[in-house]
Amino acid sequence: MSFKEITQGLVMINIIIPMEGFDNFMAAWLIRDSGRGQIILAETGPSSSLPELYEDLDALGAENIDYLIFTHVHLDHSGGAGQFHEKFPDTKIIAPDNGRVHLLIPDKLYLASAKTLGTGIVRGYGEPKPLPGSAFTGKTPEGLTIIETPGHSSHHAAFLYELSGKRILFSGEAAGFFYKLPDGGIYQRPATPHRFFYDTAIESLDRLTELGDVDIICYPHYGCAVGSETRSALENARSQLILWKRVISDFAADADVEKIFNALHEKDALLRGVDKLDKKTFERESFFIRQSIRGLMGYIFR
């Protein structure tokens, strides 16, 4: 079992992806709102992670999930949607409208992911199953606000939930990757994949900041910011994205990604937290840092 209660009614579940280095990479979030009488799950993770997720939900006594929400439709977040629906057919699913087609017909997403990430990672995620259109709901559960936050993908959304007086933000990847290091430091990096939309992403971060003070930010990658950490986490995500754009813009369109990596490592203190990760996690993150560099290069030199 791999879960942790963050505050009363909110549990972080570590999504177990069967690949080396993919521990502490993906989290699902379970809301048990006794006041409103509803249970909500944010993200399933990929299909390969579902057996352990089912075990955790069973251990938590979450036999029925009222709502399943997805911030966006990428394999690591929603690849398990079809299989999850088979097990929980009464769960109402909420996902951004213009990303739903990839849940209904996931073949194109799977092939595109293999081209971008490589077949090894995509096979580790597992193949998604089609989700029937009847699984979606047009109803927004009480207490939940949907915030459009495109940038990481064209169809990205964040969610704000009010639980027992606490304002909890599910940021998806609009605010990048956030990880608390064992020594108390923070490792952050942008999540800027292929076909990244920089200006839109900045606007989305501003939209999250304009929400005002939130008590908890729940990240799918990975963990949470709490209390006074929340504002600085969003501000850091914005300033880090601006820094990356400035540094990468100093290079040519055909520049070596390794040289850009080294320049960012030198100038970005939050990124240097990667050095404190264990070997396999460092290798995983080095791969995704390079993917994010390529995504920003695609935007800058388009």
State the average pLDDT over residues 21-28.
95
Question: Which tens digits make up the pLDDT trace of 32-53?
Answer: 999 999 999 999 999 999 999 9
- How confident is the model at residue 1, as a pLDDT? 65
Q: Contact at 8 Å (CB) between 51 and 17?
A: no
**Residue 271 pLDDT more than 80?**
yes
Burial 214-230 (b: 16+ CB within 10 A, else e): bbbbbbbbbbbbbeebb
Q: Contact at 8 Å (CB) between 205 and 148?
A: no
- How confident is the model at residue 200, as a pLDDT? 96
Whole-number Å distance between alpha carbons of 23 and 26: 8
**Residue 251 pLDDT more than 70?**
yes
**Residue 2 pLDDT more than 70?**
yes
Q: Which of 85, 79, 224, 100 is nearest to 166 (CA)?
A: 224
pLDDT band at 68 (very low <50, low <70, confident <90, very high): very high
- Overall pTM surpassing 0.75 (yes/no): yes
The fold for domain 1-142 equals Metallo-beta-lactamase; Chain A (3.60.15)
Number of H helices, E strands in the chain: 10, 13
Using a 10 angstrom Cβ sphere, with 0-12 exposed, 13-18 middle and 19 or more buried, the burial of residue 254 is exposed
Whole-number Å distance between alpha carbons of 252 and 177: 26
Question: Which tens digits make up the pLDDT trace of 137-182?
Answer: 989 999 999 999 999 999 999 999 999 999 999 999 999 999 999 9
Tokens standing for 242? 């601006």
Question: Which tens digits make up the pLDDT trace of 188-224?
Answer: 999 998 889 999 999 999 999 999 999 999 999 999 9
**Residue 130 pLDDT more than 90?**
yes
- How confident is the model at residue 140, as a pLDDT? 95
- How confident is the model at residue 194, as a pLDDT? 85
| Average pLDDT for the chain | 96
Q: CATH 3.60.15.10 residue ranges in the chain?
A: 1-142
For residue 158, the 8-state DSSP code is E
- How confident is the model at residue 87, as a pLDDT? 97
Q: Contact at 8 Å (CB) between 68 and 89?
A: no
- How confident is the model at residue 195, as a pLDDT? 84
The owner of tokens 């949470």 is: 224
Question: Which tens digits make up the pLDDT trace of 72-101?
Answer: 999 999 999 999 999 999 999 999 999 999
Whole-number Å distance between alpha carbons of 84 and 96: 18
Tokens standing for 166? 């606490």
- How confident is the model at residue 210, as a pLDDT? 96
Q: Which of 229, 177, 237 is nearest to 206 (CA)?
A: 237
